[in-house]
Each structure stands twice: as C-alpha cells, then as structure tokens.
C-alpha cells in the first residue's frame, strides 16, 4: 500500500510509544469513498488512553501530521484522512508494477503447505457439488505458491467405505458387465441410485451393503477386482474434467491407500490407553474438548472415515513434513475435523494444531441441496459442454475469424464456471445459474477476460514501448485504477491468509470496472501517457485470474 509505511512512521512519532509501528500499521485503512482520501487512520482505540473523544483525538493528530508526500490531512468522524501527491505516487506505483511484471506481488516465504481438496467418490460422476472443493483448493494452492510456499496438492479420492459394499451388492444383483464397459460412470451411478431406491423399500439391503464391504475389507479377490475396475474407470473420467478446468495434483492417494496403515493407528491408541468400547464399537472419548466420541472401529470390525483420516494425517506429516495441512472440505464435516485434531493431540502429536479445516457452503439448485443418492445432480461435464456451446454461438456472431477459437472457447467456458463459484465467499451457499456464468457483463469470468482482451488490444496497436512512457498522472479516473494496482500484493496476502479466493475475485472486478471507466472517458491510444496504466491492468488482470485458476486469453 503506497505511502502506508511513511504514514505509520509519522503517526508513531506523534503517538510517542502509545501504539507500536505494527499496531498502527494494522489499523491503517483505505477509505471507501475517494472524497475521504487515500489512507485513513481510525482513532477510536486511543479514546481510553487519552480519556478523550475519538473525534477530538483525530482533529489534534491531523494538525500535527506532516510529510512532503501528503497533499491534504484532515479529520472526520474519528478518522484522520490523508490524500497523497498523485503525480509522484502514480509514477512510482506504475514503475513498480511494470518493473516486476507477472512477478508483481510475489514473495519468498518459507514453509510447506499440504492441501487436501476435490476428493470425489469413485463410481459416481463428477457433479457440480464437487466443484467448490476443487476450485477453492486449487486457488488457495496458487495463492500459497505466489507467496513462496512449497505446496503439495492431494486428491484424497473417496475409494473405500460402506458405499462400495452397496455398489458391489448392486452390481452382483442388477449389474451388466457390457453396460458398465460401454459407459462405466453412468452405469455405476445408475446402480448406486437403484440400490438406495430399493433400500428405501427394503431396509435390510443396508445390511447387505455392509456385509459386502466387510468382504471387500478382508481382501476377497473377486470383490477387490471389481473395486479396482470401478476405481480405474472413475479416475479416467475425473481426469477429463481436471484437464478441462486445468487442475492438477501431486498425489491421488485415496482412502484405500491407508488400509495397511490403520492398524498402526489402532495400536497406538491402545498403547496410550485411549480406546474404549461403546456398544460393541471402539471409540476415543473427547469430553474435555466438548466433542462427541470419535468412532475408530465399528462393532463388526470394519474401519471408518476417521480411522483412515488419522492414518492419512500421520502419513502426510512423516512423508511431507508439512508446516500446515489444509483440508478443503464442506462445512458439514466441521465436527469430524475437530475430532481428528483432538484425537491426534491426545496421541501426543504437537503438530495437530497444524491441521486446518477450510469449510465451504453448498452449490444449490432452486435453493435445494443436490443429492447423489437420489440421482438429483448436475454434472460438471454437461455444464461445461453447454457453456462452451453458448460461448461458441456468441463467438461466431462477434468474431468468426478468430484464430485458436476452440482453445479460447474452452478457456472462457472453464473460466465462467470457476469464477462463478469463487466470486462467492466460500462459506456462502451458491445458487447454480448458467445464465449468470456466461454473461459478458456484470460480475463474471467472461467480463474479466474481456477486460484483459481490451487491454491487450490497446497495447497491440502501439508502436512505442509503453514501459518507457511512465509519468505521473493526477486525474481521478487514472488514480482509481492505479490505486487498485497498488493494492494487488496486499490482496494476494489477504486472500491466502483468509483462505478466501473471493477476496481476489472481488478485487479483480473492482480493477476491471475502474479500467473500463477510464477507457470510456479517455481515448487511451491518443493519450500515450495512459498506456503504462494499461500495461499495469493487463499484467495484474492476467496474474490475478491465474491465481483463481482462470486463463486470460489475449483475444476473444
């Protein structure tokens, strides 16, 4: 934030030790209204210290502050508001952005971050419900890398558990090998839905499902062969989706990978006298954490989600030696992760606090949760296909001669889906809307991509090197854009710190709106002093979109 360090230093000198440099820096704000200035310092926390109203403190402080960079210092409602010398500030900010290029905002922090995200269940199609974990986790990883952290991306595939006992029963009862071979995921999903339809009428089928899972856990060759087939076909299907939205992983170790690692967890719990029997099952009690008991082993001896997650946490710490292990998993799993952390802490692992659950809301259709069991899902593949069809129609009408049209259409389609999710705060539920996703106006991915194309188009028409034309500007429209450019590094930090890609999405919308407002008022191509601003916008839009997992085409 340009001028912040100077302002903090000047205020610190006046307050004479009442607040530290860091405390003052944490309080500095950017006013919501341009008329209030460029930087602001609230005086409310000083009221008790000075036994005086914040308004009076702000007025007295404003009269004492002075620096050649400040053009105006005034108080208003308990705030000290400062306006900067735009000519000097704009020149220095633009030089910094253009000099750094796409590295603008990068840092070199130390640390290893594990991110567990996406984690779809095998034998089910990749539905819109899987999208949130996938794109939120991917963006958090990109933000972490921007700050210099080493990142390991883990796709903890859901490939074990009672649901597979149900699927094995359904296949043995109603399955057809040729039908599965022709369309594996569609047919397996049909069998899964059929099982639950039948179980609603005949509850005893639930016992059949549990019995089949026990057969699978004991290593029955026939059951394992079928399970491996289902898993392999599912991964092929998932990879087509991941390739379309440009998301990759370092590990695809799913739940089944930890089957031979769970006995160690149970033994450790027994050694530490933490396991107790409860109604035939084995649990770890967590009353001191005000949590329900953590179920480790069912009464029939089969393992549970928690057992595998404990084994996975220990394996990841020993394998990757992470500093932080993030789990981007729906908010309905909040208690589960509190239990995992609590059990690890009771086992004596001081790194249990390094495990962080990053919860998120649901994608809704007509205000209702989508249900895989009932077959009420929207498939991501079909959404991408439909969006690309809509984009193709618009492209044919507006720019039929565009080169690399297919690749650009795919980038716009994926960007539309990803941005529609990430512009919403992760804790909020998101209403599915194809119409909102594909609009080239408003708060959408295509709008941002088009703004980037506009900047590229301007720069393509210029013969001179705009980087050599940097000079100070003082008009309000260019200053709004430049202030947004200046804010980018702090937005990267905040978006990662809060694990909220929506902060970056909101920022990019503000930048694009400020740029398009300037473009609407000034014919930039004829006023070359504005071209460095266009370079800055093009650079930051491209990099900011990348941090959301969205491509920024140069033409559309």
Q: What is the largest CA-CA distance in the chain?
A: 84
**Residue 432 structural domain:** 380-547
Here the CATH number for the domain that contains residue 439 is 1.10.730.10
How large is the average pLDDT for residues 343-364?
A: 96
- Residue 185 domain-assigned (yes or no): no
First to last CA, the chain: 33
| pTM for this predicted structure | 0.92
Give per-residue pLDDT as tens, 33-42.
Answer: 888 999 999 9
Q: Residue 371: which pLDDT band, with cuts at 50, 70 and 90? A: low
How large is the average pLDDT for residues 324-346?
A: 97
Here the CATH number for the domain that contains residue 11 is 3.30.1360.70
- Residue 17 domain-assigned (yes or no): yes
pLDDT at 28 over 70: yes
Helix (H, G, I), strand (E, B) or coil at 325: strand
pLDDT at 60 over 90: yes
DSSP class of 373? T
- Residue 453 domain-assigned (yes or no): yes
- Residue 16 domain-assigned (yes or no): yes
- Residue 61 domain-assigned (yes or no): yes
Last residue of a domain, one of 37, 67, 84: 84
Q: What is the reported pLDDT for 63?
A: 95
- Residue 78 domain-assigned (yes or no): yes
Q: Crossing angle of helices 445-460/405-422, nearest 10°?
A: 130
* C-beta pairs of 527-531 under 8 Å, 24+ apart in sequence: 528/462, 528/464, 528/466, 528/469, 529/469, 529/471, 529/473, 530/473, 530/478, 531/458, 531/459, 531/462, 531/464, 531/466, 531/469
Closest by CA to 250, choosing from 324, 319, 352, is 319
- Residue 58 domain-assigned (yes or no): yes
The CA dihedral of 295, 299, 303, 304, to the nearest 10 degrees, is: -40
Phi, psi of 219 (to 5 degrees): 90, 25
- Residue 459 domain-assigned (yes or no): yes
Q: Which two tokens stand for residue 458?
A: 């301007």
Last residue of a domain, one of 54, 84, 114: 84
Percent of the chain with pLDDT over 70: 98
Q: Per the structure, how many domains does the chain have? A: 2
Give per-residue pLDDT as tens, 385-428.
Answer: 999 998 998 888 888 888 899 999 999 999 999 999 999 999 99
Last residue of a domain, one of 84, 99, 122: 84
């Amino acid at each position: 934030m340009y001028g912040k360090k100077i302002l903090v230093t000047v205020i610190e000198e006046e307050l004479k030790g009442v607040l530290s440099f860091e405390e003052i820096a944490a309080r500095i704000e950017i006013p919501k209204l341009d008329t209030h200035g460029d930087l602001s310092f609230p005086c409310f926390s000083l009221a008790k210290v000075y036994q005086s109203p914040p308004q009076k403190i702000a007025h007295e402080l404003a009269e004492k502050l002075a620096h050649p960079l400040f053009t105006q210092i005034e108080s208003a409602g308990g705030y000290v508001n400062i306006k900067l010398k735009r000519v000097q500030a704009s020149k220095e900010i633009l030089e910094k952005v253009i000099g750094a290029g796409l590295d603008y905002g990068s840092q070199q922090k130390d640390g290893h971050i594990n991110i567990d995200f996406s984690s779809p269940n095998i034998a089910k199609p990749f539905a819109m419900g899987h999208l949130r974990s996938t794109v939120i986790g991917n963006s958090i990883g990109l933000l972490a890398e921007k700050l210099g952290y080493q990142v390991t991306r883990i796709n903890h595939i859901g490939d074990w558990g009672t649901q597979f006992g149900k699927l094995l029963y359904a296949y043995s009862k109603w399955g057809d090998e040729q039908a599965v071979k022709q369309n594996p995921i569609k047919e397996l999903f049909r069998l899964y839905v059929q099982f639950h339809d039948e179980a609603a009428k005949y509850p005893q089928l639930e016992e059949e499902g549990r019995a089949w899972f026990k057969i699978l856990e004991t290593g029955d060759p026939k059951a394992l062969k079928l399970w491996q087939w289902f898993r392999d076909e599912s991964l092929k299907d998932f990879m087509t989706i991941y390739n379309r939205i440009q998301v990759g992983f370092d590990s695809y170790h799913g739940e089944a990978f930890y089957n031979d690692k769970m006995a160690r967890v149970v033994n450790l719990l027994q050694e530490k006298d933490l396991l107790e029997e409860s109604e035939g099952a084995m649990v770890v009690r967590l009353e001191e954490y005000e949590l329900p008991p953590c179920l480790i082993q069912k009464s029939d001896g089969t393992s549970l989600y928690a057992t595998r997650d404990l084994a996975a946490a220990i394996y990841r710490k020993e394998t990757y030696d992470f500093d932080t292990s993030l789990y981007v998993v729906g908010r309905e799993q909040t208690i589960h992760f509190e239990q995992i952390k609590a059990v690890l802490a009771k086992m004596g692992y001081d790194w249990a606090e390094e495990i962080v659950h990053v919860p998120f809301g649901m994608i809704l259709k007509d205000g209702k949760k989508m249900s895989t069991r009932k077959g009420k899902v929207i498939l991501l593949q079909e959404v991408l296909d439909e969006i690309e069809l809509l984009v193709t129609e618009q492209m044919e009408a507006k720019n039929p001669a565009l080169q690399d049209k297919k690749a650009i259409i795919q980038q716009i389609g994926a960007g539309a889906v990803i941005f529609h999710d990430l512009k919403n705060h992760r804790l909020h539920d998101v209403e599915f809307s194809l119409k909102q996703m594909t609009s080239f106006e408003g708060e959408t991915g295509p709008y941002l991509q088009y703004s980037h194309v506009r900047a590229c188009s301007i720069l393509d028409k210029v013969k001179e090197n705009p980087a050599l034309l940097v000079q100070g500007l003082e008009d309000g429209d260019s200053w709004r854009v430049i202030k947004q450019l200046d804010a980018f590094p702090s937005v990267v930090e905040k978006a990662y710190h809060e694990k909220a890609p929506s902060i970056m999405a909101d920022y990019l919308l503000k930048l694009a709106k400020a740029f398009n407002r300037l473009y609407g008022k000034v014919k930039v191509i004829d006023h070359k002093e504005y071209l460095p601003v266009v370079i800055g916008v093009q650079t930051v839009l491209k990099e900011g979109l990348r941090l959301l997992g969205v491509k920024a085409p140069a033409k559309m």
